[in-house]
Structure 1
Amino acid sequence: MSTITVSNPNAIAVHARSIERDAHPISRKDISPNALRVLYRLREGGFGAYLVGGAVRDLLVDGHPKDFDVATSATPEQVKALFRNCRLIGRRFRLAHVVYGREIIEVATFRSNADDGSGDRETHEGGRLLRDNVYGTIEEDAVRRDFTANALYYAIEDFSVRDFVGGYEDVQARLLRLIGDPETRYREDPVRMLRAIRLAAKLNFTIEPATAAPIPALAPLLRESAPARLFEESLKLFLSGNAVASFEGLERHGLLPVFLPETAKALASNRSGALRRMVLEGLRSTDLRVANDEPVSPAFLFAVLLWPAYCRDLMQLQAQGVHAAEAQRRAADRVTVHQLNTIALPRRFSLPMQEIWLLQSRFAQRQRKRVFRLLSHPRFRAAFDFLQLRQFASPEHAEDIAFWIEAQTQPAEVVAQLEAQAIEAGEGDAPRKRRRRRRRTNGGAPE
């Protein structure tokens, strides 16, 4: 076992270790054939090439990776010269993407933590890493990765696993540990705090105490992250099949008040805990759909996550004497706008989310024509599913749910017929035609 000291802010000692093929469970049959093609061609070109990161970690815990990333000693330009199906992307972190139909193998050059004065490594005065394109050795690459579990390299030449920072033992112990000083690493990229929560939830790992300790105090740094990036992180947190564990992790480590500030305020003021029960049930339903390979709309997800905030604002507006329908619209707009300051929820999701909320009041309307108009609404199914979730916060919705279950048994042709009658009577959503006024002659009589 060799020890190498690498130039980095924390003077991390690297202990190079090779876990031979017969001592680990990774098999080539579990690796993407396209990733293997990339590894072999890089080796044939004279470069070091390794499967790296999450794929190695997941394979070690009997997982099934969706993505296979490669680390290499070749520069992005050298990778592109080897693969006709390659494109180079990124400025902050330059990468090569080797494209095989719908599968993309991401190839990254070994990075160094050192600043060589070229301007290819740039750090914000707060410690946030803005640019990271100084290339180095595999040992240097290992220490600049985030967690030890993600700093494992599978070598194609002898099928061994290379470990430089104790990641192999941490994976065996199901422990998530940052490489280096946790506060420094979080300041480099505050989104690492969310990543810690997500990986711990996904892998059923425990966050090592020293890695977890700075998170509550540093949580406000998330506000410096781009809202569009936080939207992508929210989808990873809640649409990967571990939404409940991720939400509880955000609460436990003090990130919820920064990530979903309006929701956190509403939950804190809801003493009965009814709104939290509903949110958790909605997230359980999301996890079940993901497990069953069923689609989940981000609009419905955020309707669940932000519902406590909507209820809180709605109650405040109604207490101020605002008419119910106007209060609903204003509450929906207010919650959406406030959340946009943190997470850039696209309009293609925020508008359906608001529709799901605003349709809730219509479930109490039992007039026959209104019933069939609501049944034919394009957002009915999502809104009704949401109504069913609400009974986990309050049993008072049971009667409405039973009524609408029965209403859905009506034949489609009856629904269509009654909807047409409603529109003809001027009660539908279609605009009424204006009666054309006839021109008059000079004598005042119609032409």
Structure 2
Amino acid sequence: MTLINRVKKLFSQKADADDVQLRVIPRDEHSISRTNISEPALKVLYRLRKAGYGAYLVGGGVRDNLLGLSPKDFDVSTDATPEQVNALFRNSRLIGRRFKLVHVVFGREVIEVATFRAPPSDEHSDKVSRQGDQGMILRDNVYGNKDEDAMRRDFTINALYYNIDDFSVHSYAGGWEDLKAKQIRLIGDPATRYREDPVRMLRAIRFAVKLGFDIEAKTAAPIRDMAPLMTQIPAARLFEESLKLILAGNALETVRMLRDYHLFEPLFPSAEQRMQEDDYAVSLIENTMRNTDARIQSGKSVTPYFFLAALLWPQLNKVRQKYEDDGMAPHPAQQKAADKVLQEQVKATAIPKRFSIPMREIWEMQLRLPKTRSRKAAELTQHPRFRAAYDFLLLRQQSGEDLQELCDFWTEIQKDHPPAASRSHDRRNDGAGERNDGQRRRRPRRRRNGNNNRS
């Protein structure tokens, strides 16, 4: 039996009632209110319904509402094809090849609209559905109905659909019960679902930490053995997933859980190696995550290049020291070590230049900060990356390096020579143009004369 037939059989066979049963929770039995759903999401839902299509709020927007949380994103699932959705909204764009979606843009808010998906079959062409040799889904544009779509979702707590027609919640695969039991459980056979998309292992960790849920035993069981499958995922996608994991406000617990399930090494192999061999690396990285959580929880901005610089600092030190032991001067050794460490890292998790360049600057400043007797020491406080480099110095001291005297010097000198306010590590302009999720902040387009008013 071919792999695609095995997948088809998995989804088409009649499983236990607990696995496939639809449960409808009426309005008076759940806590979701339209006042807790963003206006753009409601506009999308109602316009699709007015046009004659089925449309439901789905996934995290439903799950988090039911848990009393404030959803950051609202996703819509519909029986309209991506092309039909795109034609219905002038402020929309088609995206993706692996999973074709529509983004409907309302200023800074984007509503993601996905068409109901069905299990693949042999009659579908490679253009719409394709799986790799190990079972990973490479393309999935096979459309179906809501019931089929629900069974294609990853976790039961994400198989929840909010119906704007009667304000009920449609729960599949025991999602409502798992939400009450506070557990993360995959729909279907866990090993098969992880092979389809290994990133689901990261999502299991992220949801468990974010929601304070337990990972159900069968869902957790294959993860450690299947962690090496993460190497199949493109490095750029793993970078985006890493930001989600670290910037969710629970980075310390997340890193510890990732390490426990052997998932940290595929993301940051050199950091994991150093943490296994060096207590200082553990202290530095855990303090970085603890400080990141504190900044997020206090409403301060976080620049990803700072914690990325910390993650790779122990390995950078080791490589630089080797070059220095071979007779290379400190600054050239640092530059060569940075090249080597970053080249190795991007094989696992891509780091865009908008982050790697300030990372290098922070590292380079660690060699300049000890030169306290220089006549230009005070001028260093005006360096664009001084505040981040100073905070990095404090982090190193906090993590076990004997740098108290040096930290005191730079703390005192800032009283007479404060860093430029626009470049303070506590201000938004540090890492200018970046949002907390690491995406580049777009500048508004300047209007030009002429007929160029497409909306």
Q: Measure how far apart 1:407 and its partner are.
A: 0.8
Task: Write the mapping of 1:31-430 to structure 2, written as runs, cut at 5 A.
Answer: 31-115=37-121, 117-119=123-125, 120-270=128-278, 273-394=279-400, 396-411=402-417
Q: Measure how far apart 1:412 and its partner are.
A: 6.0
What is the identity percentage for the equivalent residue pairs of Structure 1 and Structure 2? 51
Q: Measure how far apart 1:392 and its partner are.
A: 2.2
Q: Is the 8 A contact 2:258 2:264 kept in 1?
A: yes
Deviations 1:239-297 (CA, angstroms, capped at 9, x unpaired):
22121122112111011222111111111111xx2221221111121122222332211
**30, 33, 36: which one aligns with 1:30:** 36
State how far apart, in whole Å, the 2-side matches of 1:341 and 1:255 are: 16
Deviations 1:82-116 (CA, angstroms, capped at 9, x unpaired):
33333322222122222222222111111001326
Query: Number of residue pairs matched?
Result: 406
Q: Is the 8 A contact 1:116 1:134 kept in 2?
A: no
Summarize the Cα distance change of 1:300–1:412 in structure 2 as closer, same or farther, 3 Å threshold: closer
Deviations 1:287-315 (CA, angstroms, capped at 9, x unpaired):
22222332211211201111222222233
Summarize the Cα distance change of 1:257–1:89 in structure 2 as closer, same or farther, 3 Å threshold: closer
Q: Is the 8 A contact 2:182 2:213 kept in 1?
A: yes
Summarize the Cα distance change of 1:26–1:412 in structure 2 as closer, same or farther, 3 Å threshold: closer
Opposite residue 111 of structure 1, the aligned amino acid is R
Summarize the Cα distance change of 1:309–1:411 in structure 2 as closer, same or farther, 3 Å threshold: closer
Q: Is the 8 A contact 2:320 2:337 kept in 1?
A: yes
State how far apart, in whole Å, the 2-side matches of 1:395 and 1:91 are: 48
Q: Measure how far apart 1:207 and its partner are.
A: 1.4
What is the aligned partner in structure 1 of residue 4 from structure 2? none
State how far apart, in whole Å, the 1-side matches of 2:94 and 2:86 are: 7
State how far apart, in whole Å, the 2-side matches of 1:168 and 1:412 are: 54
Q: Based on CA coordinates, which of the two structures has the bigger radius of gyration?
A: 1
Q: TM-score, normalised by structure 1?
A: 0.87
Q: Measure how far apart 1:177 and its partner are.
A: 0.9
Opposite residue 151 of structure 1, the aligned amino acid is A
Q: Is the 8 A contact 1:266 1:312 kept in 2?
A: no
State how far apart, in whole Å, the 2-side matches of 1:356 and 1:322 are: 21
Q: Is the 8 A contact 2:287 2:399 kept in 1?
A: no
Q: TM-score, normalised by structure 2?
A: 0.85
Q: Measure how far apart 1:222 and its partner are.
A: 1.3
State how far apart, in whole Å, the 1-side matches of 2:302 and 2:401 are: 25
Aligned-partner SS, 1:143:
helix
**Runs of at least 5 residues in structure 2 that lack an aligned partner in the other structure:** 1-6, 420-455
State how far apart, in whole Å, the 2-side matches of 1:24 and 1:240 are: 26
Aligned-partner SS, 1:99:
strand
What is the aligned partner in structure 2 of residue 427 from structure 1? none
Q: Measure how far apart 1:321 and its partner are.
A: 4.1
Root mean square deviation, CA, Å: 1.9
Q: Is the 8 A contact 1:8 1:114 kept in 2?
A: no
Moved more, 321-330 or 61-70: 321-330
What is the aligned partner in structure 2 of residue 9 from structure 1? 10
State how far apart, in whole Å, the 2-side matches of 1:412 and 1:369 are: 17
Aligned-partner SS, 2:376:
helix
**Runs of at least 5 residues in structure 1 that lack an aligned partner in the other structure:** 1-5, 414-447
Q: Measure how far apart 1:8 and its partner are.
A: 4.6
State how far apart, in whole Å, the 2-side matches of 1:144 and 1:276 are: 38
Summarize the Cα distance change of 1:268–1:321 in structure 2 as closer, same or farther, 3 Å threshold: farther
Opposite residue 33 of structure 2, the aligned amino acid is S
Aligned-partner SS, 2:231:
helix
State how far apart, in whole Å, the 2-side matches of 1:392 and 1:189 are: 39
Aligned-partner SS, 1:153:
strand
